[in-house]
Amino acid sequence: MPEIGNDYKFPTPGGALRVREAALAHCEPRWPMLGAPPSVQPGAVRPSSLKVRTATMAEPGDVPTDPDTPRSNGGGNGSGNGSDTQPMAGLISQYVKDLSVENPRAPDSFQWTDPPQLDVQFNIGARRISDEVTEIELKVVATAKATQGTLYIVDLSYCGLVGMRNMTDEHKHAFTYAEGPRILFPFARRVIGDAVRDAGFPPLLLDPIDFNGLYLQQLQQQGRSPAGGQPGETGDGG
């Protein structure tokens, strides 16, 4: 199996899962992987008043029925060294699926001096492409308004194709709605910043989002407790 990228380790309701960025044998990437987002230029906007509303990441019926019960992922049956039974998740490709920018009051809005009120909303969706490939969609809508009217609206759908093999349903669900969006977010953040800059405003810097924490919080709100019993212990990397 051709390998690209790095190894990741992230918490899930079924326990920690080691995930390697790899291309599945039948769906090798046809486009080069995007590099890390460039450093943001001086003058970028990161307002302390940024309000983030995270829409529901999964319908209640989509949440694993028993995330408290870890399933075997190589522990009991003695998976061999390098065998194909190893749990694997791979980012195959990533892309802008839809992007719209509204700049309704330009050029007058360039002269407004009132600080804008910023509202950013996130939503995560998923669409199954095949048994081992899923499209994850990170939807971001950023709106800036002043007392005189709307400065801009940026609506982005940023997607990634991921392959998942030999993973339990709990781990697939967690990767789809937590770790996958975490991997995609820096690239979506760059697209949003560039779009706002190209509209004539200082680029908007979105603060990092703890997708793992939000995922576990949603499980708890639906009456499920993550394995390990330590609420809020989500690890942001490392």
CB 127 within 8 A of CB 138: no
Residue 212 within any structural domain of the chain: no
CA distance 101 to 106: 12
CB 176 within 8 A of CB 199: no
Long-range pairs, 72-77, Cβ under 8 A, ≥24: 73/14, 73/15, 73/17, 73/166, 73/167, 73/168, 73/171
Residue 215 within any structural domain of the chain: no
CA distance 143 to 7: 35
- The SS3 of residue 192 is helix
Amino acid identity for residue 154 in this structure: V
CA distance 142 to 191: 12
Tally the domains of the chain.
1
Q: Say which DSSP state 202 is in.
A: P
Instruction: Indicate whether 19 pLDDT > 50.
Output: no
Domain span at 100: 46-55+87-207
In this prediction, residue 204 has a pLDDT band, given cuts at 50, 70 and 90, of very high
Q: What average pLDDT score do residues 214-229 get? A: 74
Residue 223: its pLDDT value, please?
A: 75
CB 186 within 8 A of CB 37: yes
In this prediction, residue 12 has a pLDDT band, given cuts at 50, 70 and 90, of very low
Q: What percent of the chain has pLDDT over 70?
A: 59
Tokens of 147: 């007392």
CB 53 within 8 A of CB 24: no
Q: What is the mean pLDDT of the chain?
A: 73
Residue 112: its pLDDT value, please?
A: 94
CA distance 122 to 113: 28
Tokens of 174: 């967690």
Residue 24: its pLDDT value, please?
A: 35
Residue 195 within any structural domain of the chain: yes
Residue 64: its pLDDT value, please?
A: 47
Instruction: Indicate whether 198 pLDDT > 90.
Output: yes
β-strands 3-10, 17-22: how paired?
Answer: antiparallel
**CA–centroid distance for 101 within its chain:** 21
Residue 175 within any structural domain of the chain: yes
Q: What average pLDDT score do residues 183-211 get? A: 95
Residue 202: its pLDDT value, please?
A: 93
| pLDDT per position as a tens digit, 74-114 | 444 444 455 578 899 989 999 999 999 999 999 999 999 99
CA distance 210 to 174: 13
Residue 64 within any structural domain of the chain: no
Instruction: Indicate whether 155 pLDDT > 90.
Output: yes
Residue 95: its pLDDT value, please?
A: 98
Residue 1 within any structural domain of the chain: no
Residue 93 is part of a domain; what is its CATH number? 3.10.420.10
| pLDDT per position as a tens digit, 37-73 | 444 444 555 544 444 444 444 444 444 444 444 444 4
